[in-house]
Every structure is written in C-alpha cells, then in structure tokens.
Structure 1
Amino acid sequence: MTEGFTECDLTCSSPTPSVETLNAVNHLKLEPEQPIFSVLTGGMKEQERGEAHIAVSHPTTCGATSPTAASDTESGVFSVESELCAEHDFELDWFCGTEQKLICSRCATAGPCREHSVAPLARRVTAVRNQLVDVCEKIQLQALRIEKFIKQTLDAKEQKLQASASRAREQVLAQVSAAREALEEEEQRLLEQVQREAERVEQCLLTQRAHWNNALTSLSQTRSHLVHTLTHAADAQLVTSIQEISERAEEAEGVGDPCDTNQLNLNPACTDSKLLRGLWATALLLGPNAYGSPLLKFDERTVSPLLSLSEDLRTLTFISKKPRQAPPYDPARFDSWPNALGSLSMSSGTHCWVVDVGESGAFKVGVCYANLERKGSGNEARLGHNSQSWVLSHYDLDYSFCHAGKKVPLTLIKRPQRIGLLLDWLSQTLLFYEPDSGTVLYSVTHPFSAPLLPAFAVTDRSITILHR
C-alpha cells in the first residue's frame, strides 16, 4: 500500500548514518502490505544492536532535566531531546499506558508503575508510527475513492442529468406544442363555426325583419284604406263595397301572427367540443384551484340532528343513535334526513370543491337550490329525490347520479377516497370527478335558474370538506 505515498524529504538533527546502515536499508525487502516504518525498523535492528547508548550528564537538582541526543533504536528515526526521571535520574525511555506518560525503567520495574501497562518507549513509538502510517494510508485510500467517485460517478451523473433534462424539456415543449396546436386549431374551428351560426341567425333575423316590416306596411295600408272607406264612403257606396272589404280583411288575416322560433337563436351546439371540454375540465380539476375556496364549510344551521359537526365546521359524522336532546329549532335545519348544506352560494363563475368520503359506505354529495325543503321526511327534503337537487349517491357498493327521483347507475373502476365537484355557471355544467386521477365520474348540463348551495348527506361514518 506504500505506492500511494508521495515523496518527501526527512530532515534529522542527528549525525549522518554510517555506510553499513545505509547498505542494510538498501537490502531490505519491502512487502506491499507492510507499514513503511516497520520495514525500516526491522532492517536497522541488527545494525543498531551493536551500538552503545550515548552518555548523558545528570542534573545536580532532583527533578531537573537535561537534553540528550538519543536515537530511536526501534523506529529508525532520531527522536527529540530526552528527559530524565525526576525520581530516579534515569532516562525516560519507557511509556506507561495506564497513566499515559513517560517513565524510566526503574518506575516500570520497581516504581509506582510496576503493575501498570508499560512498554519500552521505542516500541511504543514504533506502534504509534505504524498506526499513523495506517491512518494515512486509509485517508489516502478514502481520498482515492472520493476522487474516483467524483470523476466516474458524479461526472457521469452530470452528463446523464444534462441529457435527461434536455429530453425532458423537449418532451414538455413537444407536448405543450401539440396541445397548443390542437387547441389553436380547435379554437379556429369553433370560432368559424360560431361565426357561421351567428351569420345564419343574423340572416334569419334580417329576413324576418324585412318580412314583418313589409307585412306591417301592408297591414297599415289596408287599415288606412278601410278606415277611409268607413269614414268617407256614402251609405250606398259602403254597401256596394262589401266584396272589396272582405278581400281586404282576408288579405290582412293572411299575414298571420309573428312567433319566435329556435331558428332565431344561436345554436349552443356550435361551441360543443370534446377536446375543448376535456382540456378545460382538466385545467380546472388538476389546477391550483381544484379544492376551491377555503371559506367553504358546512353551514351549522342546516346540519341535521342525526349528524355531528366538527369544531372546524369541515367534518360531518353520522350519529347511529338519535340524540335525546334535539338542537334548537332553526328553519334552515333539516329535521328528518341526515343532510347538511355548504356555506357558499353559487350563482356565477366556476366553483370547485373536494370531499373526503374515506371509508363511508353511504353518502351523497352534490348541489341544491337554496329553497330546498328542510322539514319533514318526504321526498321534498330528500337529496336527489326532487327537482331541486342534483347529487352523486353511494350506498353499499352502488354509485349513481340522482335527480328528481331518477337514478343513473355509475360504473367505477375503483372506490374513490375523495370526490371532487365542479360547477360552471356559464355553461350550466355540474361535473363529478375523482381528484387523484382526474377521472370524470359523471357530468350533467342543466339550466339552473337560482343560486345553488353545496349539498351533503351521510349515514355511515363521516365525510370531510378538504382544503389545500
């Protein structure tokens, strides 16, 4: 593992090694996995065993230290100046692992550290150096792995990112371009169709206007002639003019009475487009306003005694047992059916809201006129069973659209956890959809004639009005 190290100069303050020492180092066999300092140590042991320690001078005062120029006999690297034991005046050439301090040989064998974990200083230095070499090698290997990761993985990821982002942009632009092109073509077609229909109705109006203006002129002339005959003709002349008067009257009756027809109105089918309706509905159902106004909540005054309303006025829960104490009387409250109305009146614009139906097995969601009957157990107050309400109903496993007592069965691929409603007043369209997929469950077009309120009913568990 030594090939990963870079060259460096080692400067020592000790004398230059002898020729024999250098020869011994040159003849060492380096193993790839052997720490570098261990190799140097092993090669120089034989050379250093015959060398004597350098004599040191002792201080005159106990505890004082004096410098020496000793070499590290096991590590092969010259050490810094040594100190003497303050108690025994011996060189501090041992290390106490228990107290983590330098000691002398007397301290290690007969002194206070005799029962501690001790080792010769040179051996300890060698171990520390080898450990340091291992740490440096690990750091170098880690650095190599990081460098490899940066060059191979991150660079490749960056190239892949650029390619993926470029493809994604092209895909978005292509899809938007296709949608824009189709929408522009559909817009042009519909506008031309509306223009043709408007020109047709305009021509009909001009024709009718010319016809009835001529008829009005003819009637005015006939009337003027008859009035003149009545006021100016002599009796004998008047009697002999009976035939002419009859002809004039018959001519006037032949003009007929004007009547309005559908030919004089713009045909709404001229704006019918599945593509436009689909794009419009998708933009509303999946857009930022799909959950509607955060002000929409349940109107507390309308909540049936069979239901409980949460403190935030957004969750209705069915009460299996009718409460003993009925709520205060309120003309707006449903007293027999488990119904409740929303707090938002709708008579213009476009409105969306989403209801979390969860695991409820029986509920209704829809709209109704504000004047829907609230009292009694008859169909007049039962959602979907009168001409005042339009609801999507779920009971057990059946889903259906209900209005005026008629049911339209619905086939759903999966049981929805949430149901969204969209009311567009301009097109008089009420649409039920599944928000998670944007799937339209049912839509109805009706000439709504009065403001509408969100309508709800639940006889199993609870339902909640959701807000983003």
Structure 2
Amino acid sequence: MSADYGLCDLAVVSLRDTEQEEEDPGLRGSQKEHNNNSRSRSSVEGSPLSDTLSEGPWINVSPSLYSNGSVAGASPAADSGSPAEVKLCPAHQSELDRYCNTEQRPVCSLCETLGSCQGHTVTQLTERATTVRNKLVDICETMQLQALRIERFIQHTLTAKEKAVQAEASSARERVVAQVNAVREALEEEEQRLLEAVHREEERVEQCLLTQRAHWSQALNTLSNARTSLVHTLTHSTDTMLVNSNQEISDRIEEAEGVGEPKDTEQLNLNRDCSDSKLMLGLWASALLLGPSGRAPAHLHFDQRSVSPLLSLSPDGRTLTFLPKRQRQSPPYDPERFDSWPNAVCSNPITSGQHSWALDVGTSGAFKVGVCYASMQRKGTGNDARLGYNAKSWVLSHYDGDFSFCHNGRNISVAVVKRPSKVAMLLDWSMQTLLFYDPDTMSILHTVRQAFTEPVLPTCAVADQSVTIVH
C-alpha cells in the first residue's frame, strides 16, 4: 500500500468480533462501551466505511477493531484483561510512546529530547496509529468500491460485450457468405455467357471453313477440268482443229482465270475478343494481386548502363529524373545505353511466370511506362529506339494531360476518371496478358493481349520531373 505502514507495529485484525459478541453475551456491554471510547479517540466516527464494511457483501468489520490505540483481538490484553505488553526503547529503556516521522520508527520521549531524534518531526504514537488506521479505512473502502466496480463490469459489461460480439460475428459471417455467393453467381453467369460466346464464334469459324472448303474444292475441280480440256486440245488436235478451237480455248481460259487466288482472311480466325470480359479480367487481376497468395511487387531497379544522358539515376537505382540541358553530361559509350531518347530499362528480364511492379509518377507531365524486348534498338533518334513506336515495345503514355496506350506507332486513348499518382503493371506470361492499373484504387487502365516471343524488360521514359519504382 505505502511505505508509511511498513514499520508500524500493527496487530492482526480479527474479522470475527461480531461472532464473539454473539457467543459471549457477558462481554457485550463492556465491549460496546470500550468500542465507543475507542471510536471517539481514533477519529473514524462517521466514516463511510463504518456502514459500508459492516453491511458489505464481502467483509464484516466491527467497530471494536479500533479500541484504545490497538486492534481488538490482537493481543492477550484484548481477551484476558491482562495489561498490554509495553515495548521499551533499546537505547533509553523507556516506553515507545512516540513516532519519529523522519526516521519512520517508534521512539521514546528521551529519543526526542536527548537522543538521535532531536529536531526531527515527532508525534504521539497513538496519533500516528490513528492516522494509519484512518488511511487503512480509506484504502479498504476504495478496495471495496473497486471490487463492486469489477463485479459490475463482469456481470454487465462483459456479458453485454459477449452477446454483442456473438451478434457481430454472426452478421460478419452472413456478409461473407452473401458476398461470396454474389461473386459466385456473377462468375457462373459470366462463365456461361463467355462459353456460349466462344461456342458461337467457333461455330461461325467452322461454318466459314466449310464454305471456304466447298468453294475452293469446286474451284479446284473447275481449274482441273479446264486444264484437262486444254491439254487434250493441245495434244489431240490437228492444226486445223486447233485453229478452229479458239472459242473453246477462250472459254476454258476464262474459267481458269475466274477461279482466283486463295488467301487467308480474318473471317477464318477465331475472334479472341469473344472471351474478353471486364468482370473476369477484374476478378482475375484481383485474385492475383489481392488474394491470399497475391503477387508481391518485384524488387526492381533501373540498369545504370541503359540510362539516357537526358536522365539522372538515383543512388538506389529506383528514381529517374529528367535533366535540364545545362546539367546534362556525355557519359562514356555503352552499347546498352539509349543515347537520344529519355529512356531506361530494368535489369531483370522476364521470360515466364507472373510479375507485378509499380512506379510513382507523381505530377510528371510526360512519361511512358511499360515493357520492351531486350533486343530493342538503343541508338539513334528513329522510331526503333522510341518507346511505343515500334513492334518491340508496349507502353502507357502520359503527355499534355492525356493517357494513351502505344505500340508499333499506334496510339489508343485511355480514359481515366482521376489522374493516378502511381501506375502499376501486371504481366502474366502464360496468359499472354499485360495489364496497366492504378494501385491506389485497383482500377484497370488498359489491358494488352500479347504472345511475347522474346525476353521483356520493364521500361520507362521521362521527359518531365521524376518517376520512381515503388515496392
């Protein structure tokens, strides 16, 4: 409780005074009178604990606890009427009837006037004991109130919390089941729709193939008959007959010329768009990026050898910054370096699997992010070294406030609701899919279906401010 009580010579408190009074009626009158006198001297009269402890559910304290500066039942004098044992000062052999607050120990009057406690704060031992008793009363009362609060907390708060948690958990389970069922139903419906679309497209192509097969079989038969007729005329006709066969020969030649040349057309190929679905694409990307075994971002850095002289690379290899003319330098020649366009590539080629990475584009007004073949041209000002303007690069471009997808010189406008501060990419080699998305909102910006035939490298171009690879 407190160090103040550590050296006090307190006797053991008996909690059974009430029972003793009931068992021995002869002591009841004298004990009550003795207790009344003790209560007036101990200054606890009217204390809240006098009612609380006597009526509380967990402890029964009798006023006889505070009697004549000692505790009832604590010494033989309390139950046998014999004089209480008097403790003497070891230095002066006098009664220890005072308390030194400085040294926190009982002392005698000579210790105060002649001994080691001269000048110290000394009070009567009975006053000190009364102070300690009053403090103990307050502490016991506080403990009982705390016990009541704990009991109330257990009975009311924890019970209510348990019921609330059970109800909330039940509601959460219902939400999970409802969400999964909604996704499952939508997925099953979309699956059925896409399978039917693929089946219709397959039937269309097969019908076209049958038509083409019948047409060209007839054409082949026509061509074969015309040729056979002409060969027969050539080998079995006399000069006079051959000269007189001009019309027949012309007819056969006209038939052969009408056959034409066979060629493959788009109508004979399955339209891959028949299996495209925003729902399926979103679920696929979400499963890869947000699922329990989602793709962790690749730890990429730009290849210092590839960085254009128009750019500077941060020491950690992750930030490209466009340089004004006065800050540009001429680095030594390197076959891997882009020497004319503000480009750079990463050092990790991708040849299989699933990969995702993101770039912080900040407020840059001109940048390109995407992938390119490792064999892309690095030198010169031509389109072969310009990202998005050749067959070896696929990039999302931002310039003059507009977004577009660029490949082989073709630009496809990309609509965005809000300009993203980051642009991320997800490349699935086996699915032949490159996806650009906003990692902050998980919204898809553009999707590319491409069967890559060479190792690809993450790439970037910066013509304003900076772009940083983020992990």
Task: Answer whether TM exceeds 0.5 for this pair.
Answer: yes
Q: Go from structure 1 to structure 2 and tell me whether the alpha carbon gap of 1:111 and 1:411 turns closer, same or farther (over 3 Å shift).
A: same
Does the CA-based 8 Å contact 1:95-1:119 persist in structure 2? yes
Residues 349-369 of structure 1, C-alpha deviations (whole Å, 9 max, x = no match) = 654320023455554323344
- Report the Cα offset of residue 302 of structure 1: 0.6
Residue 262 of structure 1 and its aligned partner are, at CA, apart by 2.5
Q: Does 1:19 align with 2:29?
A: yes
Task: Name the CA distance, whole Å, in 1 between partners of 2:416 and 2:273.
Answer: 29
In structure 1, the partner of 2:159 is 155
Once residues 109 and 64 of structure 2 are traced to their aligned partners in structure 1, the CA distance between those partners, rounded to angstroms, is: 22
Note closer, same or farther for the CA distance 1:103–1:412 as it changes in structure 2 (3 Å cut): same
Q: Deviations over 1:139-194 (max 9, x none)?
A: 23223223322332233223222222221221122112111111111111111221
Q: 1:124 maps to what in 2?
A: 128
State the partner residue of 2:6. Answer: none
- When residues 39 and 183 of structure 1 are mapped into structure 2, their CA distance, relative to the original with a 3 A threshold, is closer
**What does the per-residue CA deviation read over 1:405-462, in whole Å, with 9 as the maximum and x for residues that have no partner?**
7877766555533221234567766543221111234456678786543221335553
Is there any run of 5+ residues in structure 2 with no aligned partner, and where?
Answer: 1-13, 55-60, 70-74
| Aligned partner of 2:48 among 33, 38, 44 | 33
Q: Work out whether residues 370 and 453 of structure 1, in 8 Å CA contact, stay in contact via their aligned partners in 2.
A: yes
- Which residue matches 1:342? 346
Amino acid at match of 2:119: E
Maintained 8 Å contact 1:291/1:466: no
Q: Tell me if 1:313 matches 2:317.
A: yes
1:9-158 to structure 2, matched below 5 A, reads 9-10=16-17, 19-23=29-33, 25=35, 31=46, 33-34=48-49, 40=63, 81-158=85-162
The residue matched to 1:313 in structure 2 has which SS? coil
After superposition, the Cα gap between the structure-2 partners of 1:99 and 1:272, relative to the gap in structure 1 and judged at 3 Å, is closer
What's the CA shift for 1:238? 5.4
**Cα-Cα RMSD:** 4.3
Report SS of the residue matched to 2:379.
Answer: coil
Which deviations, in whole Å up to 9, do the C-alpha atoms of 1:208-249 show, x marking residues without a partner?
A: 223433443454455445434544556666566555554444
Greater CA deviation, 244-253 or 134-143?
244-253
Task: Report 1:422-461 matches (<5 A).
Answer: 422-423=426-427, 430-443=434-447, 452-461=456-465
The amino acid across from 2:298 in the alignment is S
Map of 1:277 onto structure 2: 281
Question: One-letter code of the match for 1:33?
Answer: P
* Rounded Cα–Cα distance in structure 2 between residues aligned with 1:289 and 1:262: 37
CA distance in 2, matches of 1:79, 1:189: 105
Q: Structure 1's 200 and 252: CA in aligned 2 closer, same or farther, altered over 3 A?
A: same
Whether 1:173 and 2:180 are equivalent positions in the alignment is no
Q: Please give the secondary structure, in 2, of the residue aligned with 1:201.
A: helix
Task: Give yes or no for the alignment of 1:8 onto 2:23.
Answer: no
- Counterpart secondary structure, 1:433: strand
> TM-score, normalising length from structure 1?
0.75
Distance verdict in 2 for CA 1:241–1:386, change over 3 Å: closer
Stretch deviating more after TM superposition (325-334 or 437-446) = 437-446
Contact 1:289 1:352 in 2 (8 A): no
Following TM superposition, by how much is the alpha carbon of 1:285 offset from its aligned partner in structure 2, in angstroms?
Answer: 5.1
Q: Deviations over 1:87-136 (max 9, x none)?
A: 33323233222222222333334433243222333332332233223222
CA contact (8 A) 2:309 2:342 kept: yes
| Whole-angstrom CA distance in 2 between matches of 1:320 and 1:19 | 106
Count of residue pairs the alignment pairs up: 432
Query: Is 2:287–2:294's contact at 8 Å kept on the other side of the alignment?
Result: no
- Aligned residue number for residue 189 of structure 1: 193
Q: How do 1:184-223 and structure 2 match up within 5 A?
A: 184-223=188-227
Identical-pair percentage: 55
Shift of 1:298: 1.1
CA distance in structure 2 between the partners assigned to 1:221 and 1:235 by the alignment: 23
Structure 1 stretch displaced more, 27-36 or 109-118: 27-36
What letter is aligned with 1:9? R
In structure 1, give the amino acid aligned to 2:29.
Answer: V
2:298 is aligned with 1:293 = yes
Native 8 Å contact 1:364 1:391 kept in 2: yes
Among residues 445, 464, 467, which one is paired with 2:468 in the alignment? 464
Which of 396, 399, 403 is 1:400 aligned to?
Answer: 403
* Distance of aligned partners of 1:126 and 1:39 in 2 relative to their CA distance in 1, 3 Å threshold: farther
The alpha carbon displacement at 1:266 in A equals 1.3
